[in-house]
Amino acid sequence: MVKAMLGKFYSNLMWPMLPNGIYCFNYHRIGDEATSQFDPNIFSCTAEQFEQHIKFYKAEFTVISVDELIIKMNSNDPMDKKYAVITFDDGYIDNYSIAFPILKKHNCTAAFYIATGYVNSPQIPWWDEIAWIIRHCNKKSIQLSNWPKPIDISTGTIIEKIRAILREFKLDESRSMADKITELETICQCQFNEQIKETQLFINWQQIKEMSENGMHIGSHSMSHNILSHLSVQEQTLELQQSKIELEQQLNEKITSLAYPVGNSTSFSEDTMNVAKEAGYELAFSFIPGIIRSFQENKYNLKRLPVNDNCNIAQLKKIIVRNT
């Protein structure tokens, strides 16, 4: 209680001292994680909280689109304000059914980064498949063959258990994601049934087009959402070029921006940034927490602020202050 009060006091004290810069807020899913049978960690907040966030951004920042950000970066404009950019990764259906109407209601723009391999497909992404398996696993610990030690899942919440297992999956570069999931299925002795496989989690091309036609920026999140640094340069090139081509063909517009899948410091490399530049992207976002302090920063490693745990405005302020 005392710690929470001190944190709130600190955030309020520091708030007027925030520097000018680009504050990129990153979301994934909007909705109630308690109703999902997949990864609860991917939910950023409920619809009610998201609407409060939008009101907050419009009151405290100058909200700009990614297209406006590109213009400012190419023009070397001075960093004279506190700007907000709103982004979504992955392309879940609730981005269209929940977030998009709220954005339109408040005349606010956002960028949506689409993993093209999941569009118009009932395919379950690897992180949601892993989460579903862990939810149905009776083991007390899990250790894949290349992991240095077992991960204890005998205690803690389901959110904590899934987060711990996903962390190890992301760190393990030794095999493909498909091979690791196959071993996990064997260890846990459970597999998807056909009904689960048919779950429609992602938006379709018609919905993406509607969002684009209503002022939303559409960018690439690769094809497969594989961790790019685990792939060869040739495989990374295919992922980033083909997703860009498909988006451009479907939307009949130039695709100018990219968000790296997973996006932490180990999920992309100098090679990845070079591939992104050569593929024709004008900028790329990581998921490394922080703000953009200058329009002259590396355009292929732009930081974003994570929005998660259904945070309220006071908690969102704390995230911002902590990462400034």
Q: For all residues of the chain together, what is the average pLDDT? A: 93
Chain-centroid distance of CA 219 in Å reads: 12
Which residues, listed in sequence order, are joined to residue 258 by a DSSP beta bridge?
220, 284
pLDDT at 2 over 70: no
Question: To 5 degrees, how large is the angle CA 45–CA 95–CA 159?
Answer: 40
Assign 10 a pLDDT band (cuts: 50, 70, 90): low
Length of the chain: 324
Res 146: pLDDT: 86
Whether the per-residue pLDDT at 3 is higher than 60: the answer is no
Give the CA distances from residue 244 to residues 73, 280, 282, 311, in Å, rounded to whole numbers and listed in that order. Answer: 21, 9, 12, 33
pLDDT reported for residue 4: 54
Q: What is the mean pLDDT of residues 247-274?
A: 97
Confidence of residue 289 (pLDDT cuts 50, 70, 90): very high
CA-to-CA distance for 165 and 152, rounded, in angstroms?
Answer: 9
Beta strands 151-152 and 141-142 are antiparallel
Q: Answer yes or no: is pLDDT of 162 > 70.
A: yes
Q: Which of 60-69, 148-157, 237-246, 278-287 has the lowest mean pLDDT?
A: 148-157
**In this predicted structure, what is the pLDDT of residue 242?**
98
The pLDDT of residue 297 is above 90 = no
Place of tokens 């004008």: 282
Q: Is the alpha carbon torsion for 118, 119, 122, 128 positive or negative? A: positive
Q: For residues 23 and 304, is the Cβ–Cβ distance under 8 A?
A: no
DSSP 91: -
The predicted model gives 81-106 an average pLDDT of: 97
Q: How far apart are CA 318 and CA 305, in angstroms?
A: 11
Interval 262-273 mean pLDDT:
96
Q: Is the pLDDT of residue 5 over 60?
A: no
Nearest to 324 by CA among 286, 293, 283, 287: 293
**Confidence bin at 279 (pLDDT 50/70/90):** very high
Q: 7: pLDDT confidence band, cut at 50, 70 and 90? A: low
At residue 194, does pLDDT exceed 80? no
pLDDT single digits (tens) 113-131: 999 999 988 789 999 999 9
pLDDT of residue 9: 57
Tell whether the model's pLDDT for residue 257 goes beyond 90.
yes
For residue 193, is pLDDT > 80? no
Q: Is residue 22 within 8 Å of 292, Cβ to Cβ?
A: yes
Number of neighbours of residue 165 by Cβ within 10 angstroms: 21
pTM score, whole prediction:
0.93
Integer Cα distance of 57 and 65 in angstroms: 13
Which class for 17: exposed (0-12), middle (13-18), buried (19 or more C-beta within 10 A)?
exposed
Give the CA diameter of the chain: 58
pLDDT value of residue 231:
95
**What does the pLDDT read at residue 1?**
55
Q: Residue 89: which of 207, 251, 203 has the closest Cα?
A: 203
Provide the percentage of residues in the chain whose pLDDT is more than 70.
97
Which residues are paired to 141 by β-bridges? Answer: 152
Residues 27 and 44: beta-carbon distance below 8 Å: yes
